[in-house]
Amino acid sequence: MSAGRILLIVFGIVVGFFLLAGGCVYSGYNQAVTYDEAVKSGWAQVENQLQRRFELIPNLVQTVKGVAKQEEKIFLGVAEARKAYFQAGSINEKARAAGGLEGALSRLLVLRETYPQLKSDKSFLKLQDQLEGTENRLAVERKRYNDAVRQLNTYIRKLLGRFYAGLAGVGAAEYFEIGEEARATPKVEF
């Protein structure tokens, strides 16, 4: 074998080694960037669902207040009509109070008969369903985000993953975890 042929083989091996090493670095760098982008995309979806939740809650609260005011108005009307009847001194006053009580009671009966069909109640149920759906979507997006974080963090902890992530400027990400205050049982008071 001639010296030129040996030199050509050595040169081929060196070039092949650098191409292989360059391909590994290129692939590792791109993998780190892909995982980082998956984490960022996952977090963006979590934020979308959080924003939806934050927009729905005030509407739900206002609807509950509206239903409560509507019911309170009717129950107060019944109580006031009853009170007026017992405070009436003459027959005419009692007759007017009894008429007022009948009107209040008829509104109460209509409320009882049509309660499930009340528009404010329908709005409440619709908003409640939307909020429940949002919570479910949020749980799904949190899981997807945490899966992306796990994939990135696992990659970074592998032998060459840290090197490739360092080249790409990618660091470990934090999991979306529930705080202690969210783990406590909520208290509902009326």
50 HSE (CA, 13 A, CB side): 8
State residue 106's pLDDT score: 62
Domain count, the chain: 1
Q: What is the pTM of this model?
A: 0.62
The reply to whether 138 falls in a domain is: yes
The reply to whether 17 falls in a domain is: no
Percent of all residues in the chain with a pLDDT value above 70, rounded to a whole number: 67
The reply to whether 182 falls in a domain is: no
Domain enclosing residue 137, as ranges? 37-171
CATH for 74: 1.20.1440
The reply to whether 19 falls in a domain is: no
135-163 confidence digits (pLDDT tens): 888 889 889 999 999 999 999 999 899 99
In the structure encoding, which two tokens stand for residue 67, read together?
């239903």
The reply to whether 4 falls in a domain is: no
The reply to whether 177 falls in a domain is: no
- The residue behind tokens 């995309």 is 41
CA distance 190 to 74: 18
